[in-house]
Amino acid sequence: MPLVRIEIIKGQSQDYKDALLQAVHDGLVSALSIPDDDRNQRLYELDQCCYERSPGKTEKFTFIELTLFPGRSTEMKRMAISEITRLLGERLSISPPDVFIIINEPQLENWGLRGMQASEMDLMYKKE
């Protein structure tokens, strides 16, 4: 159940935004083996004046924050970063220097699902 937050600069077409969301999702399906229907993505568009970035970053700069259940291997996380970056390049011509990904892993007691702490649930997800 990855939670995905994507931030981009305003001005892209709906087709671009759809392809962006799909590329990130496909990368997570491939790298983390999540079910194809496990989609919890939010796309935020910021005005140019509200999106300060390092010199050399283009208008396609894309910030992706992944919040995952804890315990996935370093290799799985490396694959997620690599696969998402590859797909964004192939599908949207976003260069790797314009992709910034961070992964957060709050402990299961900090997740609330169906009115319960996730730590109280028998959650099955691939960790290696």
CB-based contact 9:51 (threshold 8 Å): yes
Predicted pLDDT of residue 119: 76
Whether 97 is in a domain gets the answer: yes
**Any idea what the CATH number is for the domain that residue 112 is in?**
3.30.429.10
- Residues 52-106: pLDDT tens digits? 888 889 999 999 999 998 989 999 999 999 999 999 999 999 999 999 999 999 8
- The total of structural domains in the chain comes to 1
Phi, psi dihedral angles at 65 (to 5 degrees):
-115, 120
Phi, psi dihedral angles at 7 (to 5 degrees):
-120, 130
Whether 128 is in a domain gets the answer: no
Predicted pLDDT of residue 104: 97
Residue spans of alpha helices (H) in 33-128: 74-92
pLDDT for residue 126 is more than 70: no
DSSP, collapsed to helix, strand or coil, labels residue 31 as: helix
Q: Which of 25-29, 43-47, 113-117 has the lowest mean pLDDT?
A: 113-117
Give the range of the structural domain holding residue 37, as residue numbers without chain letter: 3-120
Whether 57 is in a domain gets the answer: yes
pLDDT for residue 49 is more than 70: yes
Whether 127 is in a domain gets the answer: no
Section 38-43 average pLDDT: 95
Whether 44 is in a domain gets the answer: yes
Whether 114 is in a domain gets the answer: yes
The one-letter amino acid at 107: Q
